[in-house]
Structure 1
Amino acid sequence: MEWELLGIILAGLGSLYLWAFKLPYSIPHPQTSSHGRETRFDVLRGFAMIGIVMIHIHSYFQFFHPADTSVIRTTLFFSNLSRFSVPLFILTSAIFLRKKEGYWVSKIKNLLIPYTLASIIGYFIKYNDYTVLEFLQFYILGKVFAPFYFVPLLMQFYIFFYIFEKFLLNHQYTKVLLLVTFLVNLASNLGIFDSILPKDYHSISIFNYIFFFQLGIQIGLSKDEKHRPTENVSFLFGTFFFVFLFFLICFSGVYGIDFKNHHLIYPSFVFLAIWEILPKFNQKLATIVSFIGNNSLFIFLLHPFVIHTMHSFDPYSFGGPFLGYIVTLILNVGIPTGIAVIVQKGKSLYQSRHFVEPR
């Protein structure tokens, strides 16, 4: 609650600053590029995917070296720093969401089938005693691997959107819905729904992330207001960054507190901050991160297999804590990304051989 309250106070002060000095600032909005894809959101998803890996690396190091306080507090800092990742995935998943022909076909083909295959394989690899009932429970709740809870969570949002699409996309209600979902999400973060909802449902509760879903819809409906951030706005983001960084160090390094994935203000702040620095971002690095974001499903589903296998090896065996962290990060992002490259090239080769127009 202390971290949530701090975020709300800082966000309130920032809003007051923008209002008092009449600084022009518009909500981020999508733009369709010449290739028909909004690559900036792929960059955001790329950062989020790397962040998810960093969260799990902390657990990996903690598993082997719980008594090595200095190292564990450092990995905890990077884990807490990355807690914007899941909210950012929910947000970007909602931006271009529309109920059109093939809505469920694409969700089943691109998400549910890969998740099902990964869950089946993962269940037989990770567990020793197999029962259909246990697998179905793990599958529905996303418990085969810890990160898999995201798929049942996202599927609930897809169902929610399919049912209430006309209401959610109505410009007349979007701002009111944004406020309502913020309050609902805040109530969920404070544990108000814990006694009402089944305990097994807590981890995949849509109330934990419903504000970010609605924020994504709001961004998807927004237009370019021709406002450009001024130096004062950049200064504001810079100031907030150092304030958050200070408290991240305190909470992680001093108190050893492990943050939740669904704090409200911190992920929203990181989203806006990254959005502001994207135009100044190194183009080559942005292309790499964008590719990771575009193929995030591969990394999301395959990374748990990599980190699970690595639990047979002490991370320090890769050259100590520092090199061990770097190697673990590279392997958990690089191996699934490499598989994504191979699959993409295979698809392109298959299409070029079977769909060439006859001469």
Structure 2
Amino acid sequence: MEWELLGIILTGLAALYLWAFKIPYSLPHPRTTKEGRESRFDLLRGFAMVGIVLIHIHSYFQFFHPNDAVVIRTTLFFSNLSRFSVPLFILTSAIFLRKKSGYWNSKGKNLLLPYTLASIAGYLVKYQNYNILEFLQFYCLGKVFAPYYFVPLLLQFYLLFYVLEKTLTNQSISKLVLFISFILNLLSNLGFFDTILPKEYHAISILNYIFFFVLGIQIGFSYEDKTKPKGEIKLLLGTLSLVFLFLLILFSGVYYSDFKNHHLVYPIFFFLFIWELIPKFNKTLSNWISYIGNKSLFIFLLHPFVIHTMHSIDPYSLGGPFSGYIVTLILNVGIPILIAIIIQKGKFLSRSHHSDVPD
């Protein structure tokens, strides 16, 4: 909670600075141009996907070497650094959300079906005493693998948008809706709803991330003024970056605190920081991260199989702590991408074959 309060205080000071010095700034906008949609959102998803893997790598190292303080505190730092990931996925998923024909068909085909197949396979691999009622509970709550809670969480947001689309996209009340979502999210983070909501529901409660979802919708309908000066904003973000970096090191290395995924301020700060920094990235690096973002669903669903299998292998046996960390990261991102390429290539060849068959 200290991290949450510090973030809110820093954000308040930053907002006061922007207001006092009349520094203009507008939200990013995912406009589609002749070159295609804004590519920075794919990059953000790539960062978020790598971040999710880093969070689970910390648990993997902690499982084998909980007493190796230097290594574990280092992996904890990278885990805490990555706590923007799930909120950023929620935000970017909301940005391009539109209620149109085939809304649920696309969600079923592109999200629910892969999740169902992965959950069945994961349950068979991870557990020994099979029970259909237990599986259905794990499936609905996203508990087959730890990160799978994201899917039922996201499906709830899709349902919320489907039901309240007119309210959530009403520009005349957008600030009020965003403020209400902020208060609800803050109260959830403070544990206000813990005694009201069923305990099993806590992990997939939309109240934990509702601010990011509403903010994503509003970004999707916003208009970024690229003529506004960015020098002061970049200076402010640079200063806050140093403060957040210091706090990350302090909480990870000294207090040994494991952050939650749904703190309010840090994900938004990281989003804005990376948004302004991306244009300075090396093009090759940007392409790689963007590619990871495009394959994020495969990585999200398949990397738990990889990390689960790796729990029979001491990470230090992969060349020591540093090499083990890098190899683990490469395997957990690379193997799902390889499987994605094989599946997609198979689909392409299958379509080509059918198109070559005469009627």
Q: Which portions of structure 1, spanning 4 or more consecutive aligned residues, are displaced by more than 6 angstroms?
A: none
1:34 correspondence with 2:50: no
Write the letter of the residue equivalent to 2:350.
Answer: Y
Q: Does 1:350 align with 2:350?
A: yes
1:110-143 alpha-carbon deviations (Å, 9 max, x no partner): 0000000000000010001011100000000000
SS of residue matched to 2:100? coil
Map of 2:107 onto structure 1? 107
Query: Secondary structure at the residue paired with 1:172?
Result: helix
- What is the aligned partner in structure 2 of residue 201 from structure 1? 201
Superposition pairs of residues 89-128 of structure 1, within 5 angstroms: 89-128=89-128
Identity among equivalent positions (%) equals 72
Q: TM-score, normalised by structure 2?
A: 0.97
Structure 2's unaligned 5+ residue stretches are none
Cα deviation code 1:60-88 (max 9, x no counterpart): 00000011111111100000000000000
CA distance in 2, matches of 1:42, 1:178: 24
Tell me which moved more, 203-212 or 289-298.
289-298
Between stretches 60-69 and 222-231, larger displacement belongs to 222-231
Equivalent in the alignment of 1:53: 53
Quote the offset at 1:229 in angstroms. 4.2
Residues 290, 229 of structure 1: alpha-carbon distance in 2 compared, 3 angstrom cutoff: farther
CA positional deviation for 1:353 = 3.7
- 1:51·1:79 contact (CA, 8 Å) conserved in 2? yes
Structure 1 pair 173–229 and aligned structure 2 pair: CA distance change class (3 A): same
8 Å CA contact 2:30, 2:37 repeated in 1? no
Task: Find the aligned partners of 1:356 and 1:88 in 2 and give their Cα distance.
Answer: 42
Q: Equivalent residue for 1:151?
A: 151
Counterpart residue number, 1:329: 329
Give the whole-Å Cα distance in 2 for the aligned partners of 1:114 and 1:270. Answer: 29
Amino acid paired to 1:137: Q
* Match runs of 1:1-359 below 5 Å: 1-34=1-34, 36-355=36-355
Displacement, 1:344? 2.8
SS of the residue 2:40 aligns to:
helix
How many pairs are equivalent?
Answer: 358
Distance 1:227 1:177 in 2: 28
After superposition, the CA RMSD in angstroms is: 1.4
Secondary structure at the counterpart of residue 225 of structure 1? coil
Q: Residues 23-59 of structure 1, C-alpha deviation per residue, up to 9 Å, x if partnerless?
A: 2211111121436443221110000000000000000
Q: Which amino acid aligns with 1:27?
A: L
SS in 1 for 2:128: coil
Moved more, 65-74 or 80-89: 65-74
- Give the C-alpha shift of residue 16 in structure 1: 1.3
CA distance in 2, matches of 1:38, 1:232: 23
Please tell me whether the aligned partners of residues 153 and 206 of structure 1 are also in contact (alpha carbons under 8 angstroms). Answer: yes
Opposite residue 314 of structure 1, the aligned amino acid is: D
TM-score (norm 1): 0.97
Which residue identity is paired with 2:287? T
In the alignment, residue 42 of structure 1 is paired with which amino acid? Answer: D
